Amino acid sequence: MTFLHQRFLLSISIMFTISQLLLVSSRGPIYKPPSVERLTDRFHSTPIEGKMSTFFGEPNIRMKNNGSYADIILDKTSGSGFVSKDRYYHGFFSVAIKLPTGDTSGVVLAFYMSNSDVFPHNHDEVDFELLGHEKRRQWVLQTNIYGNGSIKTGREEKFYLWFDPTQQFHQYSMLWNTHHIVFLVDNIPIREVIYNQASSSLYPSKPMSLYATIWDASKWTTHGGKYPVNYRYSPFIASLGELKTEGCFMSKTNSTSTSVCSKSSTPLTSDPVEGDEYTKLTSQQTIGLYWARSKHMFYSYCKDTSRYKVLPQECNN
């Protein structure tokens, strides 16, 4: 091998290494997640079409794998999404999502629970919102919670993800019972809202439907529409699967509504997420929660003194 050939190969190797470093640095530092219990393994997946109905944008919904998976699409004509056939009191709700690639500024994929259709002025809500970003083509994860409130009373927190959510499926899960609400990503808790006197006013208390939607949120997510959705890159396709919806749901009998609890399609006498193992986080989960919040959270309403002259009561706990 000649000297020039060696230098050529070395320069190629250096350029590749630099490109890889730039790729990593453009997404921020990459941290290895800690090992945690796989909470999702305790619950069985169910076909999307069995638990969900079309919410809007039916032409932009594609069912796959006999209804176990689905694509929801945003294009110039419409967004799209699902809503659950049942309303739930408590439970475990999870879905695997693969997000659209490319320039996704203004695109939002939401996996959330809400009853705003029934209680428009004092609704409850528990949200995962994946926000297409105008910088570095990077997705941002926002969590939010409302209790007997309006859109002005949200409790937002934002995270950078420790993986590329466009390359493969990742699990986004919500655990909701009378003790706490836990948001998990790939089984790692990223946020816990514990029920106590300070949080009782914001804690969801009424039955909610489950939603999965993709839509154009340019005016909301990109500084008043400064970086709107660029439809030259459409359609924006998000894939969903591995849906898990197990808990207490409303059952209408004649003119009355009662609560029916289920796990794996089997009626139970008690809520399947009310056992001792769901009362509080384990030591592994607590470590995971600290890791996610210390390494990846970049906004919390509890630190937003420009928004709140006096921080909400639960922020002092």
How do residues 223-232 score in pLDDT, each as one tens digit? 666 789 999 9
CATH number for 229: 2.60.120.200
- The answer to whether residue 234 is domain-embedded is yes
Catalytic one among 37, 49, 125, 134? 125
Catalytic one among 49, 129, 157, 246? 129
Total number of domains constituting the chain: 1
129 is a catalytic site residue: yes
- The answer to whether residue 8 is domain-embedded is no
First to last CA, the chain: 67
Q: Given this model, what pLDDT does residue 304 score?
A: 93
- The answer to whether residue 23 is domain-embedded is no
Q: Given this model, what pLDDT does residue 270 score?
A: 65
156 is a catalytic site residue: no
Alpha helix ranges (H) inside the chain: 3-26, 48-51, 218-221, 283-295
How do residues 125-154 score in pLDDT, each as one tens digit? 999 999 997 765 589 999 999 888 766 677
Res. 7: pLDDT tops 90: no
- The answer to whether residue 13 is domain-embedded is no
- The answer to whether residue 12 is domain-embedded is no
Res. 240: pLDDT tops 50: yes
Res. 9: pLDDT tops 60: no
Question: Which domain range does residue 185 map to?
Answer: 39-316
Q: What is the mean pLDDT of the chain?
A: 86
The conformation of residue 49, written as its DSSP 8-state character, comes to H
- The answer to whether residue 148 is domain-embedded is yes
At a CB cut-off of 8 Å and minimum separation 6, what does 251 contact?
257, 258, 259, 260
Question: What is the mean pLDDT of the segment spanning 156-184?
Answer: 96
Provide the CA 141 distance to its chain's centre, in angstroms.
7
At a CB cut-off of 8 Å and minimum separation 6, what does 126 contact?
112, 113, 114, 144, 145, 174, 176, 181, 204, 208
**Where residue 10 falls among pLDDT bands split at 50, 70, 90?**
very low
- The answer to whether residue 21 is domain-embedded is no
How do residues 53-65 score in pLDDT, each as one tens digit? 999 999 999 999 9
- The answer to whether residue 16 is domain-embedded is no
Q: Given this model, what pLDDT does residue 19 score?
A: 39
Provide the CA 154 distance to its chain's centre, in angstroms.
15
186: which 2 tokens? 């790939």
